[in-house]
Amino acid sequence: MDLSREAGVAALLVRNDGKRFVLGSRIEMPRLLSEELDGEEFEPVEFSWKKKRLRPNYVATRAVALLGNGALGSDLGVGLDCTVS
């Protein structure tokens, strides 16, 4: 795993009930929704890029909060009680 680079500008979360979220900074969200996810049904979850910079597991923490219950699986090492595949 190469942790010397950012994983990207956003993260996608799909819950067991099918609800889908895109987690990204306020700066990137308009572009993501219009260029990358146009026509897709993702609920935006915006945050300040400073929060992500100050707390490396900030996005994972927000994702866990959106899950309600259940485990968070990820293809990146994000900390918490996540399953890395």
R_g of the chain, CA atoms, integer Å: 13
pLDDT at 85 over 60: no
Q: Which residues contact 78 (CB under 8 A, 6 or more apart)?
A: 57, 59, 60, 72, 84
Least confident range from 4-18, 35-49, 66-80: namely 66-80
- Where do we find the tokens 């994000």? 78
pLDDT at 2 over 60: no
- Higher-confidence residue of 76 and 2: namely 76
- Name the pTM for this structure: 0.76
